[in-house]
Structures are given as C-alpha cells and as structure tokens.
Amino acid sequence: MRMWWLITTLAISAFICNSPVYAYDNNPLQDICVAVNDSQAAVFVNGKICKDPKLATADDFFFSGLNVSGNESTLFGFATTHVDINTMPGLNTLGISIVRVDLEPQGLVPLHTHLLATELITVLEGTVYAGFLVPDPANFFKSRLFSKILNPGDVFVIPQGLIRFTNNLEHKKATFLASFNSQNPEAIAIPSSIFASEPPIMDDILAKGFQLDETQIAELRKKFS
C-alpha cells in the first residue's frame, strides 16, 4: 500500500511539473503589452478586437489567391503572398498562418527570424537552399548551421526564434510554402533591423560589433535604408 501511494504521488508530481499550465506562461501574442489600470480600455488579442460571433460569416475564414505570386522585393528577388490574420480575419486566436514565397533565379530571403513561430517549409517548385543557426551553448560567439538543399516535395522545419535564410540555387524560379504555428509570426529582417533602425544605432557601436570602420558602416546604412 505504501509503495502504491508513493508511485501515485510521483505520478501526480510529474504531471504538475510538466503541465503547461503550471510550468510556464503562455507565449505572448504581441511584443509588448504595457499594463493599464483602466476598466474602460478595450481588450486586444494580437492587436485585434474580436467580432461579435453572430456577425461572423464564411468569408471571414476564406482567402483566395495563394496560387498567385505576390509583390516582389527587388533588392533580394523574392515575393510573398500572406494568409495571416490581416488577410483572413478568422485566423484570429487560432495560432496558424501560411505564406507563399516565390524566389527569382538566385533570389534570397535574407537572414531573418520569426520570434513568435516555428516555420515549416514545403517546396513546390525549383531548388531551395534553406538553413538556420543554433547558438553554441559553450561559446557565445559561435553557432551551428543546419541546412539542406530542398527539391519539390521536400519539407524542412525551422525552430521558433532562430535566425534563418532561404536561397534559390537555380537559374529558374522556385516556390515554397512557409507554414507557421502563429497567426502573426512577425518576420524580423536582421540586416535591415540593424542598419536601418530609427533612431539609428551609433556608428561606433556598429563598427565595433562588426569589426568594420565607420565609412563601411555608412555604406551599409545606405544599402538598407
């Protein structure tokens, strides 16, 4: 009887310690949420107010156009078509979204991160080189690259928050779908965030951080501003 009580106690303890309710807070749905002591303030979910359910229609849960390439980024040679909370209101609070990415020949989705979502890449056409960086726990200044060359039908997953890239290796277009476990995965372009911030980061800080001189930093600012 004593052994059964011990096993039961350990099982309950393990459940409580590993339960997401007790183990950690839910992931935030927006970057900042400054507390306000105002009973009249509106309640937002990821920046959106929920519609009265009686007014919802099927169109709120519908999107058309994922078969069409989106607006192209002339700097890097890629275009995106987003199915997220902004183009399909019914996704609000559901924690999913998808993006079609079209890469021009040699096109690149540059180093970026999605702080709020894991990304699942599915290649539809062409050849895509995809990779992400995992920090080295033993050395703050190093990381490990995980990368694969992907062909149509290949799937590659990139964990949440890690720096990643995708590159078209061929001289023809490539297309892939990026699925996210967030209604708003929030893409942060690393180069632009650093060199085109407002207000700008001091040149001296960037020069020291990248081991460049301030003239080179000025040139990088021009490229990404």
Domain-located, residue 205:
yes
Lookup: tokens for 36: 């306000």
> What is the pTM assigned to this prediction?
0.79
Q: Which pLDDT tens digit goes with each residue over 154-170?
A: 999 999 999 999 999 99
Domain count, the chain: 1
Q: Looking at residue 180, what is its pLDDT? A: 96
Domain-located, residue 163:
yes
Beta strands 128-135 and 143-150 are antiparallel
Between the two ends of the chain, the Cα-to-Cα distance in Å is 72
Give the integer Cα–Cα distance in Å for 63 and 100. Answer: 13
Q: Looking at residue 36, what is its pLDDT? A: 65
Contact 145, 165 (CB under 8 A): no
Domain-located, residue 5:
no
Domain-located, residue 28:
no
Domain-located, residue 3:
no
Measured N-to-C along each axis, helices 214-224 and 203-210 cross at an angle, to the nearest 10 degrees, of 100
Domain-located, residue 176:
yes
Domain-located, residue 37:
no
Q: Which pLDDT tens digit goes with each residue over 4-44?
A: 444 444 444 444 444 444 444 566 666 656 666 666 666 66
Beta strands 174-180 and 143-150 are unpaired
Domain-located, residue 154:
yes
Of 37-46, 54-63, 148-157, least confident by mean pLDDT is 37-46
